[in-house]
Chains A and B, each alone.
Chain A
Amino acid sequence: MDKPFAITLDVGSSLANKTGSWRTSRPVYVDRLPPCNHACPAGENIQSWLYHAEAGDYEAAWRVLTLDNPLPAIMGRVCYHPCETACNRGKLDESVGINSVERFLGDEALKLAWRFEPPVRDSGKRVLVVGAGPSGLAAAYHLRLLGHAVTIIEAGPLAGGMMRFGIPKYRLPRDVLDAEIQRILDLGIELQLNRKVSNILDTMHSGAFDAAFLAVGAHIAKRAYIPAGSTARMLDAISVLRGMEGEDKPLLGRRVVVYGGGNTALDVARTAKRLGASDAIIVYRRTREKMPAHDFEVEEALQEGVLIKWLSTIRNMADEGTLTVEKMRLDDQGFPQPTGEFETLETDSLVLALGQDVDLSLLDDVPDLVIEHGVVQVASNMMTGHAGIFAGGDMVPSERTVTVAVGHGKKAARHIDAWLRGGRYAPPPAHKLAAFESLNAWYYADAPKTTQPVLDLARRASTFDEVVRGLDESTALFEARRCLSCGNCFECDNCYGVCPDNAVIKLGPGKRFEFNYDYCKGCGICVAECPCGAIEMIPETI
């Protein structure tokens, strides 16, 4: 016995005392679905690419982004970014400028000529894509990456569809459009231009295609009956916008009236202004709240001097360009009703922007199809009633935006791939939504004062693209870092730090954390102090 006086036992460690037995509930790490991802019609994993952008690894961010969407530079300009509407940061100060960061990544990729990795194996299957718009291009991209041989047949003289013939240049520069399309084609996708498919079954048969994805878009302008004199100049919005792509710009005159309330109406009015019209007046039969056009586009158009006549319909147009406009009022159901009050409006041309229809003639001889309201019905796997023929974009029932179209292309590609392999594609189960209430907002820094003006600039850049250029590196980084990482661990070390019992094991960079249930007493501090709500307390079962 060489122990000190009165000491009979060796020094022991408290590690012998497994305090985990005290616990009645245990913390577990979870992943939740961030609201931005949830809202993205293209199914982008936004939070995940922001995560890489936060670290300044823009190429990794771009690679994660393009797993879902091959057109970030385009999307960063034309998407209506429902992600930002859903962003939890909006409840804190302002939502993250996701769209502007996407544009930055897209532009960076074009600048530095990042390419897609071609598939390593060919499946031996051939897939036909009809239409080189956003949906067709997205489908072709994903199908090619899955190893299939893809041919796109396009009726128009150039690829891009509505992105080229419906979206004005001031919103989408054509060099950006061309470069992102070319990068997809570079994967080894065949593109046949100026070829209209008149009978899809014949085309599939003669080209020995195993499946087809149809995305022909909605290019036929809807008409309204407006009595007009024989020399009255009446055009439709789509041909005006299409005309902008050619040598001879459409002749609209000094005073232009546009009839309709969608984004296309605004595009035409703004285009008319840019063509030198002194007056560009939009006539719309309902109120601003009911207008289908996006608010920011209305705002931009108004700033550019476009005038809008609300609650008005056009009754007729005389030869000398006099329009008779009737005032409307909304009834109890919110429908516009005539009032019998008229006024006149002088104009050089009237442009109808009343929506578009789809040319479905290529489907005339296909059995088992269901066509309702002028669009093809598809099942949840995007397949039409006819086995092997899938469809997406504007020709199926849905919202008509580039982003939705891209989402259709991706979704259809996955199902076509599964179908070609004789299986069914089952999407991974969605996580629970990361609601704002599950966050501990205390931990998110306010933007430091010195950088605040840049933040304002970031805000502006995301909504005034043609006025303010894209973000530069530092502002893009700033925006990315405003992400709260809702619902998914971003390795802030809080759980590791705040546990009074050292019961959280840090596994190292990129590896997150683990609980040591031998010692976790189940106090729940880690859950309460996790900024992003990535830990949940569940009762112990005894």
Chain B
Amino acid sequence: MEMQTVKFYQTGTFTVGNRLLAEDERSVQANMHRTNSLNSGHRACQGCGEALGARYAIDAAMRSTSGELIAVNATGCLEVFSTPYPETSWKIPWIHSLFGNAAAVASGVAAAMRVRGRSAVRVVAQGGDGGTTDIGFGCLSGMFERNDDVLYICYDNEAYMNTGVQRSSATPPAARTATTPALGREPGNVFGTGKNVPLIAMAHSIPYVATASVANLRDLERKVAKAMTISGARYVHIHVPCPLGWGSLPADTIKVARLAVESGLFPLFEAEHGEITGRTPIRRKVPVTDYLRLQKRFAHLFNVADEPRIARIQAIADRNIAKFGLLETPAHG
């Protein structure tokens, strides 16, 4: 990781800030004057990973664009908890249209800015996993294929949370949701073929694709900042635990996200023009059970000691680790 070149041993760049680093080497979130794009008073649940991820990402984008940013939001928790009419938590220009059209609306806003000669203004589109990997997928693919100048951010909490935890194409195998109850011979979500939208985005050969996690702020900020240096279609997929939908403790949101990364279930990587250019190595590898155990949506795996299906989940993690080289130390590290 190039961000680990900072020579400081106490907490390195693992913590949000670091009093011994120069101001410009610190994270955006450490700054007393960060935008706080998503302000206090929003109605997200206690410990909401999506609220946290959105502030991390948009504050970083705000710094990169010197505040010249417009956000387009798909329907979903982030939209609902931040903007109950007439209140808004957004401290930046923000527009919501429909559940499935955020990418298309963002393409339109970018075009409008270009037409009006305000090309310094950049556009971010954002939505949940349902709004991105399912209903908004057509618009998103179009935005990619046309290489519109939009950064699309997906906040992946692995289900349709806003309407009561229904399964999406991003819901992991075995997870219990309202529509995949923990009943029958194979409780929870099916072991499907998977639908990895970051890899699909890469298949469009767009200039930049990255995955990120609320458990690794410096990595997340660096990726958003990098995305903002690039024109054309960009995609950042952020893993954001949902205490309510996952049945995890609100206090454990970052811990759960961290275990997803450290187990290999949520690989952190980035790609340019369809080629993987970087991956964030696992620091201390853990078995998937460390991650699963903290979440009630997986409780059925442990109630009857469902070893075979736990092994299948472990196999997914192991495959990620091998595929993305997550245990290799980076060459320049």
Contacts and interface: CB of A to CB of B under 8 A. Distances in A.
A516 interface: yes
Contacts of B51: 500-501
Q: Is the interface of B mostly helix, strand, loop or mixed?
A: loop
B254 A525 contact: yes
A528 B251 contact: yes
A374 B113 CA distance: 91
B20 A13 contact: no
Nearest to B33: A506
A22 B4 CA distance: 39
B258 interface: yes
Nearest to B253: A525
A17 B17 contact: no
B85 A528 contact: no
Interface stretch (A178-186, A350-358, A375-383, A478-486): A478-486
A318 to B, nearest CB: 60
A443 B19 contact: no
Interface in A495-542: 496-503, 506, 508-509, 516, 518-519, 521-525, 527-529, 531, 537
Given A508-B32, A525-B251, A528-B251, A493 B17 contact: yes
B16 A493 contact: yes
A90 to B, nearest CB: 16
Interface in B125-151: none
A13 B255 CA distance: 31
A60 to B, nearest CB: 14
Interface in B77-94: 82, 85-89
B238 to A, nearest CB: 13
Interface residues of B, number: 50
B181 interface: no
Most buried by A among B19, B41, B49, B85: B41
Contacts, number: 160
Contact of A10 (B16, B42, B86, B217): B86
B86 A12 contact: yes
A147 B91 CA distance: 58
Contacts of A499: 52
Interface residues of A, number: 56
A28 interface: no
A63 B249 CA distance: 44
Contacts of A528: 251-252, 254-255
Contacts of B29: 493, 496-497
B191 interface: no
Interface in B287-330: none
Contacts of B26: 493
A291 B51 CA distance: 60
B46 A12 contact: no
A54 B251 contact: no
A7 to B, nearest CB: 8
Nearest to B252: A528
B250 A482 contact: no
Nearest to A14: B41
Given A523-B251, A523-B253, A528-B251, A13 B9 contact: no
A260 to B, nearest CB: 42
A448 B47 contact: no
Given A15-B41, A483-B10, A443 B15 contact: yes
A539 to B, nearest CB: 14
Contact of B258 (A11, A15, A54, A442): A442
Contacts of A426: none
A18 interface: yes
A531 B16 contact: no
Interface string A459-483: 0000000000000000000100111
B47 A500 contact: yes
B40 interface: yes
B18 A502 contact: no
A335 interface: no
Interface of A: 9-19, 22, 54-55, 442-445, 447-448, 451, 478, 481-485, 490-494, 496-503, 506, 508-509, 516, 518-519, 521-525, 527-529, 531, 537
6 contacts: A17-B42, A493-B29, A497-B27, A500-B49, A503-B40, A523-B243
Given A12-B86, A500-B253, 10 more contacts: A54-B10, A490-B19, A492-B11, A496-B30, A500-B49, A502-B38, A523-B253, A525-B251, A525-B253, A529-B255
